[in-house]
Each structure stands twice: as structure tokens, then as C-alpha cells.
Chain A
Amino acid sequence: MSTVLPAPVVVPAQRAAQSPFRRIASDFFANPIAVFGLCLLAIIVAAAIFAPLISPQNPYDLAQLDVMESKLPPGSKAPGGGTFWLGTDDQGRDMLSAIFYGLRISLMVGATSTVLALIIGLTMGLTAAYFGGRLETLIMRVVDIQLSFPAILIALILIAVLGQGTGKVITALVTIQWAYYARTVRSAALVEKRKEYMEAARCLALSPARIVFRHLLPNCLPPMIVVATVQVAAAIALEATLSFLGLGLPITEPSLGLLIANGYQYLLSGKYWISFFPGVALLLTIVSINLVADQMRDVLNPRLQK
């Protein structure tokens, strides 16, 4: 077949034969910086998932902590034979273990809120685009008003109203984020809605739910993946900020933000490591997600495809 086509078109014809997933994967791996970001992210996620296995110490088990070992600088020898590579905090907790466990909580909160917000935002945005009319006006007006205020302000209002706790922080993050998804998916769906396959689906008298979720949704996914990747990073940063302000997660299971806040009071006496290393972990997490998101944006953008 390709012999019929003029020479320059041969490459796209081959590419079209590939599955979309393979094409996206091969485009993604063409950028070394993005691959670096992905590897870094994989290591961070692995460290979070396997925290109980790789941590030298269980930071929540008070029996393993000794106040005599508190605020030791990085590299100090532990009496049990090990080394506190990143030092210890005010309760004698090994910072490395605390960071692994903190990562676990930060990533869990970020991922959970993103998935929930994605589901709500997708449903709202698709409903608005598919049905139109008053419902659309109402949903999009709420989105507009919400997006005209900074996320941190809305989060603070919600925390002030709801109170504190893991579930409430996730609720606040979901409330902030669904609007981004609703807006993105609506604009994508409005374009898709006018295409012929949608008309065909409607002619077959399929139920609205089936049309929306089986036909419309899969075609609106690429921009959503990009927004979701960026939003995971934003959610993790926002959760850390709230926890730092003392309005986030409970102190019993500290996330990265709370670990940083804990070290704040010792910073002025020169004990930098209690705040510094959790911050580095937070920074690496956010940077790696942003690097991946940046490349995803280029790979999934149909206008940039060769």
C-alpha cells in the first residue's frame, strides 16, 4: 500500500499503523529530560509505596524512638548500629524514614483528590457540554466564579468551614480542582460533539449515558490527562502549604508539609536538616511531575503531531 503513496507520506502511514499508545510512548521517550523526570518520579513513587520495607525505622512506632537521639545532624551514628543519613528530628525520628512515610501520605492525598476531582469534573463538564441550556449556564457560572479566586484562598475558606483532618483536606482539594477539569473537558467536548460519530451514535438511539461515557469521553481524554498531571503536582504543593500553616493533615501521621513545619522552629538555631530534606523531597516530587506533564502536553497535542 505504501508504494502507491508519494515518498514523504510513508512515515505518517507507518505511524498510523501503530497503536496510539505506542506512538505516544515513543514520542514521550524522545525527550531525555522528560525521561529523566519519569525515572525520578518512578523512584519517588516506589519509595513511597515500599516505605515500610526500605525505611531504617518505623517513624510512627514510638517504641523505636529515643529522645536522647533527637536533633542529631545528618550522618550521625545511631546507637543501634545504623546511621542517621539525614539526621533526626525533635522526637529522635530518623529523617530519611520520616520522609519516605511523609511522601506516602503526600502522594496518597494528591492522587486521591485528583482522581475524585477528575471524576466529578468530567461528569459535570460532559453534562454541561452534552445537554447545554440552563444546566450548562449554571455549571459554567459556578466554575467561572470559583476560578476567579486563587486556590489557596478557597482552600483556606473550606478548611475554616469544614475543620481539619485528612478527609477534609481531600474534600477541599477536590472542591478546588473539579472546576479545572470541568472547564477543560467542556471545551473539548463542545468540539467533539459536532463530529459525525456523535451524530451516528445519536441516530442509533443510544442512551445519553452510553453516548457520553462510551463515545464522547474517550475522545476528550488527551487534554484531561495533561491537566490531571499538572494538578497532581498542584494538589501536593497545596496540601503541603496547608499542612505547613497548621491547617492540613493531623500531626500523628505527618506529610512532607508538616515535617517542614516541624523543623521551622529549629531552623533559627542552625538545625537546618529537619526542614531542608523534606523540602528537597517535596521539590523533587513536584519538579518530576511537572517535567512529565510538560512532555505529555507536547505529545498529546494534535497540532504538534507530525
Chain B
Amino acid sequence: MLVYIIRRSMQSVVVLFAMSLLVFVGVYAIGNPIDILINPQADQIDRENAIAALGLDKPLWEQYLVFLKGALSGDLGKSFVHATSALGLILERMPATMELAIAAMLIAVILGIPLGLWAGLKPNGVAGRTIMAGSILGFSLPTFWVGLMLIMVFSVMLGWLPSNGRGPTTLLFGLIPVSFLSWDGLTHLIMPAVNLALFKLALLIRLTRAGTRESLLQDYVKFARAKGLTNTRVIGVHVLRNILIPIVTVIGLEFGSVIAFAIVTESVFAWPGMGKLLIDSINLLDRPVIVSYLLVIVALFIFINLVVDVLYSALDPRVRLTDSKG
């Protein structure tokens, strides 16, 4: 197990290195931030001084080496616009995005698994059919438009919930600013979280339903019923435990995509997270922030994949054998 984790971590470093090269060249090769950042009335000398100060006068490979040297000591460059550490800017925004993503994932799991289970146990009932029709809708609705409609109904028409921002934040463990500890913060969180959760909710419903229908036909369920176990125990222990394996994998992998899709939700609800920072940085050609965001996201993805693999083998004893072999 330990060998496996170490080997995977080393692979991750290689992937991260390759990604840094790709992203760096991609972002730096095209577009000229000078035109946006420097006053068009500046004279030639001012221009050249500014270019030199940003390090843009050096050839691309040299710029990459400077970047890589900094990156290894945890410095991903300074933002052109904010003139502070790019990584610092992203880390500062990260708790907001994480809170949103975790809240969305919780909503999707807490609602998705029971609804999917219900639809799987009674596929032909009215409730089962309604749940499935709803999940198709959940797949088809464009996230950003649902966000707007939520604002329209709950903020504009009913006036129950605030339409943008994060509200007051409280420090969790004296370190991380979060919204969910105060009532006002919670009212700010609920709408973006529901919006972000919808797509994953539809996915989890379909996945749980398919898994339930499949495992109900398996011999171990028939055997459990033959033993005379109660319905609750058959479903709660035998069915649920087996369908949980693919579900945990998908939850893990989808967590990364929730963070990516938070870009859209954050833009709709003006949620001050990493995604909104990325959109602003793309519009301003703030290259160090774009590169840092992408590297942070890639690192996050690699980490999530590793955690999912480890969890997977912990949940399913059959997986462990293949791990130790290779």
C-alpha cells in the first residue's frame, strides 16, 4: 500500500511538471499583456522599463526556468495586476470555493443517494418515474441559467435570499474564513450551493438507481432474503454497501469537476472564489494568476485521484490484490 502511494506520488510529480510546461508555454506564447497593462501614452523608455520589470524581455525558455525555479520554492510569480504573489491570491480565495464545492457535494449526496435508491427499488412507480424525469431535466438545464432563475425567484420575487456575495465570514478553527457558521452567511451560501449541486445530483440519482437495480438481481441479495433478513437490513447493508463502491469513486472524481464548474456559479452569484478570480484574470491577461490557478487545479485533481484510489481499495477488498502487484 505504502509503495503504491509513493509510486503514484512520483508519477504525479512528472504529470505536474509536464502540465506546468504546457500551461506556461500555452499561456505565455500568445497575447500581449503589455498593451493592457501599460498606459498607451507611456514613452518608449517607460515601456521597456515596465517590460523588464515584469521579466517579459527575456526569451521564453529563460522565463520558464525563472518560473520553475520560483515554483520549486513555492513562488509562482507576482500578479501583473495586483502586484502581489499569484499563489497567495489564489490561496486567499480557495476557502470560498472549497466551501461552495463541499456544500454542493453534500447536497448532491444527501439527496441523490436516497432518491436514486428509491427510484431503483420502485422503477415503475410514480415517484420513481418522476425522480428519473427530474434527473434528465437536471442534466439538460444550463447551470448558469438555473442560477439566474434562482436569483429571480428567491431574491427578486420573494426576497428571501441575498443574490450575491458571501456574507459575513467566521473563522473556523481560528484559521479558515467560512460562511456557514452564521445564519446570514448560510443564506448567502444556500442558493449557489444548490445551483452547483443540481448537475451532480442528477448524476448521483442515475448512478445509484442503476447500481440498485443491478444489485437487486445478484445472488447475495437473494441469499440475504432467503435467510429471512429484514428488508431494511438487506437494502441498508447488502445493497447499499455494494453500490457505494462506484458511488464513492464518482463522488471523488466529480469533486474536481465541481471545483471547475464553480467558475460558472461563482460568476453568477458574485461569489468571491478562485473561479471568479480566473475569469477576471483571463479578461486582464494576468498570466501569472492564470498559470497558478491551472497548476493549483491540476495538483488538486492529482491529489483527489490519489485519495479516491486509496479509498477505493479500502472499501473493496478485491482491489487490494491488484494494487500490490502493480
Binding site for B on A (CB under 8 A): 148-150, 152-153, 156-157, 159-163, 233, 237, 240-241, 244-247, 257, 260, 263-264, 267-270, 272, 275-276, 279, 282-283, 286-287, 290, 294
| A159 CA / B294 CA spacing, docked (Å) | 13
Offer 7 A-B interface pairs, CB within 8 angstroms, sorted by A.
A152-B261, A160-B282, A240-B145, A241-B264, A245-B144, A267-B151, A287-B137
What B residues does A148 contact at CB under 8 A? 301, 305
In the complex, how many residues of chain B place their beta carbon closer than 8 angstroms to a beta carbon of chain A?
Answer: 40
- With both beta carbons as reference points, the residue of chain A lying nearest to B153 in the complex is identified as A272
What A residues does B297 contact at CB under 8 A? 153
Given the interface pairs A157-B26, A247-B279, A268-B163, the reply to whether A286 lies near B140 with Cβ below 8 Å is yes
Closest chain A CB from B273 CB (angstroms): 14
What B residues does A260 contact at CB under 8 A? 144-145, 148
Closest chain B CB from A78 CB (angstroms): 25
| A286 CA / B152 CA spacing, docked (Å) | 22
- With both beta carbons as reference points, the residue of chain B lying nearest to A278 in the complex is identified as B145
Cβ of A268 and Cβ of B261 under 8 Å apart? no
Cβ of B301 and Cβ of A241 under 8 Å apart? no
Given the interface pairs A153-B297, A268-B163, the reply to whether A240 lies near B142 with Cβ below 8 Å is yes
Interface residues of B in 253-294 (CB under 8 A from A): 256-257, 260-261, 263-264, 267-268, 278-279, 282-283, 290, 294
What A residues does B290 contact at CB under 8 A? 160
Closest chain B CB from A35 CB (angstroms): 16
Interface residues of B in 147-174 (CB under 8 A from A): 148-149, 151-152, 155-157, 163
Cβ of B148 and Cβ of A163 under 8 Å apart? no
Q: Does B102 touch A at the CB level, under 8 Å?
A: no
Would you give the 0/1 interface string for B162-197, flagging 1 where the beta carbon is closer than 8 Å to chain A? 010000000000000000000000000000000000
Given the interface pairs A150-B261, A152-B261, the reply to whether A160 lies near B145 with Cβ below 8 Å is no
Classify the interface of chain A: helix, strand, loop or mixed.
Answer: helix
4 closest Cβ pairs, A-B complex: A279-B145, A150-B260, A150-B257, A153-B260
| A239 CA / B264 CA spacing, docked (Å) | 13
What B residues does A163 contact at CB under 8 A? 30-31
Cβ of A156 and Cβ of B283 under 8 Å apart? no
Cβ of A283 and Cβ of B145 under 8 Å apart? yes
| A286 CA / B136 CA spacing, docked (Å) | 11
Cβ of A157 and Cβ of B30 under 8 Å apart? no
Q: Does B60 touch A at the CB level, under 8 Å?
A: no
Given contacts A148-B305, A279-B149, 5 further A-B contacts (CB under 8 A): A160-B282, A240-B142, A247-B283, A260-B148, A267-B156
Interface residues of B in 124-154 (CB under 8 A from A): 136-137, 139-145, 148-149, 151-152
What B residues does A160 contact at CB under 8 A? 27, 282, 290
What B residues does A272 contact at CB under 8 A? 152, 156
| A297 CA / B280 CA spacing, docked (Å) | 40
- With both beta carbons as reference points, the residue of chain A lying nearest to B18 in the complex is identified as A145
Cβ of B30 and Cβ of A286 under 8 Å apart? no
- Of the listed residues A153, A245, A257, A272, the one surrounded by the most CB atoms of chain B closer than 10 A to its CB is A153
Q: Does B2 touch A at the CB level, under 8 Å?
A: no
What B residues does A264 contact at CB under 8 A? 148, 268
Closest chain A CB from B154 CB (angstroms): 12
Given the interface pairs A233-B140, A267-B152, A283-B140, the reply to whether A152 lies near B260 with Cβ below 8 Å is yes
Closest chain B CB from A287 CB (angstroms): 5
Q: Which of B29, B30, B283, B301 contacts A246 (CB 8 A)?
A: B283
Cβ of B31 and Cβ of A161 under 8 Å apart? yes
Q: Which of B23, B268, B301 contacts A157 (CB 8 A)?
A: B23
What A residues does B29 contact at CB under 8 A? 161
Closest chain B CB from A149 CB (angstroms): 7
| A282 CA / B146 CA spacing, docked (Å) | 12
